[in-house]
Amino acid sequence: MTTTNSLTYDDLGSAAQRDRRRRILDATIALASKGGFDAVQMRAVAEQADVALGTLYRYFPSKIHLLVSALARQFDDTGAVVGRRPVPGDTPSERVIYVLRRATRGMQGDANLTEALTRAFMFADASVATEIHVVGMQLTTMLTRSIKGDAYVEGEQPSDEDVAISRVISDVWLSALVSWVTGRATAEEVAEHIETAVTLVLR
């Protein structure tokens, strides 16, 4: 290799490096899914991914980077599934609520993983801004697409208002998620709160 490689993004590095990165993220997801944030221990990740601790830190400069990158990959993997089909529902509210209910249920189905990823997301500082921005864009895309429904056209920029609405919904969703993963709200309360907010913003 002729240039120093940050290894931070998907498509860089040799095949062996891409495979190491994949193994590391696999191990991260597996450990998070089994025991949550605390179970994602750097030594354990390194061992399970079959890389040295120093190598792990070469790929991901902190536990937070690691978890947020894992979150981004999860979004990539499942976002593609959600992406194609039209969102059911006759109004923006119905469509957004449908999508969020699906997403929330998915996350609640793996509480430990959600706890790990959410905590990392909330603790991330400026050095993780790039990864966070990726997740934010994915969320915004998902929501603006749901708002437009059939009127959505591939590649078209969403309106400023739709983006603003999406950001508000994202904020509410994130707050609700934090309440839930920290045990301060039940799944039902989260669902109810989100639906109230969506109908409020999209009336």
Partner DNA sequence: GGCATAATAGAAACACGTTACAGTTACGAA
Partner DNA sequence: TTCGTAACTGTAACGTGTTTCTATTATGCC
Q: Note the residues at the interface with DNA (CB under 7 A).
A: 1-2, 4-5, 7, 14, 16-17, 20, 38, 40-43, 50-55, 57-59, 61-64
Question: Stretches 9-17, 98-106, 150-158, 179-187: which one binds its own copies (CB under 8 A)?
Answer: 179-187
In the list 42, 134, 174, 187, the residue contacting its own copies (rule: CB under 8 A) is 174
Q: Is 72 helix (H, G, I), strand (E, B) or coil?
A: helix
Measured from the CB of residue 132, what is the shortest distance to DNA in angstroms? 16
Which is nearer to DNA, 4 or 157 (by Cβ)? Answer: 4
- DSSP-assigned states of every residue in 83-151: HHSPPP-SSHHHHHHHHHHHHHHHHHHTHHHHHHHHHHHHH--GGGHHHHHHHHHHHHHHHHHHHHGGG
User: Contact, 139 vs 82, CB < 8 A?
Assistant: no
Q: Which CB, 6 or 182, lies closer to its own copies?
A: 182
Number of residues that bind its own copies (CB under 8 A): 28
